[in-house]
């Protein structure tokens, strides 16, 4: 089975304005995904971090520091090809209990799966363990955040926080219920840091020691290294992408204007013993056009496979970004 992961799906105020259709008086973000939709749809599962709350009240729409995006933002994400979005991040509680509820509801109503936030304890019990069988391979996915920016999570709502006990219990449950591959999805680290910090290393090590196979990270808003290795103790492959950067945002700080699509293939080899394999680990670099927030797959642009021509100063900026990505360990070596 093939899985794609992308980084942070943010929605700043200028994006909200650009998504508004004055004729229909509605919002839709799909134009941002127009040139990557075919890529995102070419997988068994495609996942991204929804780093905004969703609102159905226009007067509440806002960008940083407390994000509230129109439901049309989710419409575009679904149409682009996403199946699962993480909702546990430091902006989960930006608009209180209503925001948590509307975000969950809008994701579900658009045919996607939200992971990491819950309406109630009953909702948590029903959805806390996402375990899915794809072509005979059972995967479990858990999402955690380091905080909600100090905003209290009230009224019985739950945002899954990083916790050693929680992680161990989750991994243990997944194993007991037959998951072949366990994926932990962390929102952690230091914003704009190009290298993982001590807390990231701590949570990654803890996750692998608990028995996770793959760890995907976000929050720094820049791409960090990718490690793919053989766990000598367990004699199994392990993969960690410390941060996939921004997939979509209006940030323009250095190296925040893009990210990577991570593609991995999971397989099982039957023999005397069941052998799990993480194969075909690839990354594809993307960059966000600041004029209209279109996500540009850089290699496809260079090969003139998409009908767009950037002004020279923006093309130069995009190429500099690609050069930067190629220097990051594990990133950019293999394009798909």
**What tens digit of pLDDT does each residue of 13-62 get?**
999 999 999 999 999 999 999 999 999 999 999 999 999 999 999 999 99
User: What is the per-residue pLDDT for 273?
Assistant: 83
Decide if 297 contacts 34 (C-beta within 8 A).
Answer: no
3-state helix, strand, coil in the chain (%, to 5): 30, 35, 40
Q: pLDDT at residue 232 above 90?
A: no
**Phi first, then psi: what are they for 184, rounded to 5°?**
-105, 135
Which 3 state secondary structure label does DSSP give 241? Answer: strand
Rounded average pLDDT over 77-89: 98
Residue where the block lists tokens 């950019």: 332
Which 3 state secondary structure label does DSSP give 92? Answer: coil
What span, in angstroms and rounded, lies between the C-alpha atoms of 281 and 2?
10
Rounded average pLDDT over 107-121: 98
- pLDDT above 70: percentage of residues in the chain: 99
What span, in angstroms and rounded, lies between the C-alpha atoms of 41 and 61?
29
Per domain, the residue ranges of the chain are: 2-326
Could you confirm whether domain 2-326 is CATH 3.60.21.10?
yes
Which 3 state secondary structure label does DSSP give 267? Answer: strand
User: What is the per-residue pLDDT for 335?
Assistant: 46
254-269 pLDDT per residue, tens = 999 999 999 999 999 8
Q: pLDDT at residue 289 above 90?
A: yes
175-231 pLDDT per residue, tens = 999 999 999 999 999 999 999 999 999 999 999 999 999 999 999 999 999 999 888
Rounded average pLDDT over 317-321: 97
Average pLDDT, the chain: 96
Rounded average pLDDT over 118-130: 98
Decide if 11 contacts 63 (C-beta within 8 A).
Answer: yes
| Pick from 38, 20, 37, 42: nearest CA to 29 | 20
R_g over Cα of the chain: 19
Q: pLDDT at residue 147 above 90?
A: yes
Q: Is the dihedral of CA 73, 285, 91, 82 positive or negative?
A: positive
Which 3 state secondary structure label does DSSP give 189? Answer: coil
Write down the pTM of the prediction: 0.96
What span, in angstroms and rounded, lies between the C-alpha atoms of 199 and 190?
9
Confidence of residue 311 (pLDDT cuts 50, 70, 90): very high
- Residue 217's DSSP bridge partners are 186
**Phi first, then psi: what are they for 225, rounded to 5°?**
-65, 160
User: What is the per-residue pLDDT for 274?
Assistant: 86
Cis peptide before 65 (omega within 30 of 0): yes
Confidence of residue 271 (pLDDT cuts 50, 70, 90): confident
User: What is the per-residue pLDDT for 235?
Assistant: 83
User: What is the per-residue pLDDT for 336?
Assistant: 42
User: What is the per-residue pLDDT for 334?
Assistant: 53
Q: What DSSP state is assigned to residue 235?
A: T
What span, in angstroms and rounded, lies between the C-alpha atoms of 313 and 320?
11
Confidence of residue 333 (pLDDT cuts 50, 70, 90): low
CA distances from 270 to 132, 180, 202, 213, 239 (A): 20, 13, 34, 18, 21
């Amino acid at each position: 089975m093939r899985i794609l992961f992308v980084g942070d799906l943010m929605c700043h105020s200028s994006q909200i304005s650009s998504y508004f259709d004055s004729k229909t008086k509605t919002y839709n973000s799909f134009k941002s995904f127009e040139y990557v939709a075919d890529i995102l749809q070419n997988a068994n599962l495609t996942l991204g971090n929804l780093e905004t709350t969703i609102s159905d009240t226009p007067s509440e729409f806002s960008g940083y520091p407390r994000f509230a995006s129109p439901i049309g933002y989710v419409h575009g994400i679904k149409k682009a090809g996403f199946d699962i979005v993480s909702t546990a991040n430091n902006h989960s509680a930006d608009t209180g209990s209503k925001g948590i509820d509307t975000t969950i509801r809008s994701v579900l109503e658009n045919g996607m799966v939200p992971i990491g936030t819950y309406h109630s304890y009953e909702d948590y019990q029903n959805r806390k363990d996402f375990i899915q069988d794809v072509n005979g391979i059972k995967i479990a996915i858990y999402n955690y955040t380091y905080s909600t920016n100090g905003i209290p999570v009230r009224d019985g709502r739950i945002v899954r926080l990083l916790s050693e006990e929680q992680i161990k219990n989750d991994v243990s449950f997944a194993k007991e219920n037959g998951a072949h591959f366990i994926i932990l999805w962390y929102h952690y680290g230091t914003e704009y840091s190009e290298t993982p910090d001590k807390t990231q290393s701590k949570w990654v090590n803890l996750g692998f020691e608990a028995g996770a196979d793959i760890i995907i990270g976000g929050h720094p808003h820049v791409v960090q290294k990718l490690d793919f290795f053989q766990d000598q103790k367990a004699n199994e492959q392990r993969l960690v992408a410390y941060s996939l950067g921004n997939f979509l945002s209006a940030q323009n700080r250095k190296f925040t204007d893009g990210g990577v699509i991570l593609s991995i293939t999971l397989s099982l080899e039957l023999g005397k013993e069941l052998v799990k394999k993480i194969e075909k680990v690839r990354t594809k670099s993307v960059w966000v056009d600041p004029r209209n927030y279109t996500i540009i797959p850089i290699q496809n642009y260079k090969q003139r496979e998409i009908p767009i021509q950037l002004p020279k100063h923006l093309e130069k900026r995009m190429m500099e970004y690609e050069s930067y990505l190629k220097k990051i360990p594990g990133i950019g070596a293999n394009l798909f």
